[in-house]
Structure 1
Amino acid sequence: MIKILKLFLLCVCFASCGTSEQPLVVNKYNEHVFVVNIAPGEQKLQEYLNYHKKVWPEVEAGFKKAGYKQISLYRFDHLVVMRILVDKGADLDQLGKLSESYSPKCKEWNKLMGAYQVGVNGTAPDQKWVETELFYEYLN
């Protein structure tokens, strides 16, 4: 299982990472890729996936207000990969605060989703999402 996860992460990074430690610039946007695990158990995973089939409208309106250009989630088993496109130079911490300020439902969503998430191996005890490190990219 560990070998499969390592291979998956390697493929994700090949598909979405750049050649330096800076986020990949796609035209005028920066790309950021984060990973998190969903808590063990098939029921937890299915609940998490079901919530994402119908994300609350206030949450997506908060994303828009904050200026996120694209947020995509991918998964393999309990591993979730999040790809974010933002304007070049945007501060992700500020975007997150602005997004949550749109509606109390945004903060409620984040708290609810946080109950399903656990950090990947190597994260601090209180850390869940962690940004991946750029290490290779092929461009044609």
Structure 2
Amino acid sequence: MRHCLALDLKDDPALIAEYEAYHRNIWPEVRAHLHAHGVTGMEIYRLGTRMVMLMETDDARYDAEAMAAATRNDPKIRAWEELMWKFQAPTPWTPNGEKWLEMSRIFEL
């Protein structure tokens, strides 16, 4: 299944460059965590400070709630998420305490 999520970055060119550098070489534990929870592919695109993530998942193994719980219980993944929050900012529509927000598809060809 394909998921499309959105998140913003802080409007600081140096922070954006650092964020992109981290994503050119994500931690191996992060890659393993994603694969372990049924994420089979992921791409992140940026326009200014807005980011869009396309995430492909294996429906038989992907469970967003289980993945979120595993993130909270894994110190290395929590450390990555806390580090990323240095660069990230919620969209105007993101509820408090959340990050990536699932987008609604409004058209398909």
| TM-score of the aligned structures, taking structure 1 as reference length | 0.68
The answer to whether residue 100 in structure 2 is matched with residue 119 in structure 1 is: no
Give the SS at the match of 1:69.
Answer: strand
Find the counterpart in structure 1 of residue 7 from structure 2: 36
CA contact (8 A) 1:58 1:102 kept: no
| TM-score of the aligned structures, taking structure 2 as reference length | 0.85
Aligned residues: 108
* CA gap 1:102/1:60 in 2 versus in 1, 3 angstroms: farther
* CA displacement 1:88-124 (0-9 Å, x = unmatched): 26321212333x3785321110111122111112223
Give the SS at the match of 1:32.
Answer: strand
* Equivalent AA in structure 2 for residue 48 of structure 1: Y
Give the SS at the match of 1:106.
Answer: helix
The answer to whether residue 67 in structure 2 is matched with residue 92 in structure 1 is: no
Structure whose alpha-carbon radius of gyration is higher: 1
* CA gap 1:62/1:101 in 2 versus in 1, 3 angstroms: farther
Find the counterpart in structure 2 of residue 76 from structure 1: 47
* Equivalent AA in structure 2 for residue 49 of structure 1: E
Separation of aligned partners in 1, 2:5 and 2:50: 11
CA contact (8 A) 1:68 1:95 kept: no
- The runs of 5 or more residues in structure 1 that have no matched partner are 1-29
Deviation (angstroms), 1:78: 1.4
Separation of aligned partners in 2, 1:91 and 1:46: 31
* CA displacement 1:24-83 (0-9 Å, x = unmatched): xxxxxx111001110111111111111111101111011122221111111112111111
CA contact (8 A) 1:48 1:113 kept: yes
- The runs of 5 or more residues in structure 2 that have no matched partner are none
* Equivalent AA in structure 1 for residue 75 of structure 2: P
Aligned residue runs from structure 1 range 1-140, under 5 A: 30-88=1-59, 90-98=62-70, 100=71, 103-138=74-109
Separation of aligned partners in 1, 2:37 and 2:96: 28
* CA gap 1:95/1:125 in 2 versus in 1, 3 angstroms: closer
